[in-house]
Structure 1
C-alpha cells in the first residue's frame, strides 16, 4: 500500500499542477512562458509541479471577497446578458435590416429572371422586353 502511495502522490501532484497550468491565463504565469512551465511540470516529475505551485503562478488575495463564490457573485453584477445589452440589440437590428434589404433584392432579381424566362418560353424576344 505504501509503495503505491510513493507513485500515486507524485502522479496526482503532477496531474494537478499540469491542469492548473493549462487553466492559468498566459499573463498570470510568472518568470517563464506557460508552454515552458508545461514542459517543466511534465519532464521534472516531482520538482516541476512543486516549483510551479510555489513560483510559477501569480497568486493574489481575493479582490472582491474572501471566497471564490463571493468573487464570482461580484463579477456577475458587472456582466450584462446579451438580451439586456442595448448595443448588442442595436447590432442585431442593423443586421436584420441588412438581411431584409438583401432578401428583397434577391426576390426582385428572382422575379425579374422568372419573367424573362416566361417571355422566352412564349417566344418573345429579349429586345421587346426593354433589355
Structure 2
C-alpha cells in the first residue's frame, strides 16, 4: 500500500512540475481564465487539482505541447517567389548587359587572334 501512495505522490509532483513549467512558459496574453500568478498559486497549493485545472482551463488554446517545426527553406528552383523575381525588368536588363559584355569580349578576342595571325601589323 505504501508503494501505491508513493507512486501517486510522485505522479502528483511530476504533474505539478509539468503544469508549472507550462504555465510559466506560456505567453501572458494567451493564458485563459485567470492571471498567471493565480494559476501558479493554484498549482502550488493544490498540486493535483490545480495541475488538472491548468491543463483543462488555463493553458493557451492550440498548444499541443510539441512546437511546430520551422518551415524548411525551399530550393531556389522550387520557390515560386524566387522564380518570379528572375523575370523582372532588372534581371532582363542584367541579361542584356551580360550579352553585350560577351559580344564585346568575343570581338576583342577575335581582334587579338587576327593581330597574332597577321605579323605585318604592328
Are 1:73 and 2:70 an aligned pair? yes
- Runs (4 or more) in structure 1 with deviation over 3 Å come to none
Are 1:38 and 2:40 an aligned pair? yes
Cα deviation, 1:49-70, whole Å, max 9, x if unaligned, reads 00001110122178xxxx63xx
Distance in structure 2 (CA, Å) of the matches to 1:17 and 1:3: 21
Residues 26 and 60, structure 2, Cα contact 8 Å, conserved in 1 = no
Cα deviation, 1:59-105, whole Å, max 9, x if unaligned, reads 2178xxxx63xx3322x76xxxxxxxxxxxxxxxxxxxxxxxxxxxx
Are 1:4 and 2:6 an aligned pair? yes
Distance in structure 2 (CA, Å) of the matches to 1:30 and 1:42: 18
Aligned pairs for 1:90-109 (under 5 A) are none
TM-score, normalised to structure 2, is: 0.51
**What residue in structure 2 maps to residue 18 of structure 1?**
20
Count of aligned pairs: 70
Structure 2 residue ranges without an equivalent (≥5): 74-122
Distance in structure 1 (CA, Å) of the matches to 2:13 and 2:63: 28
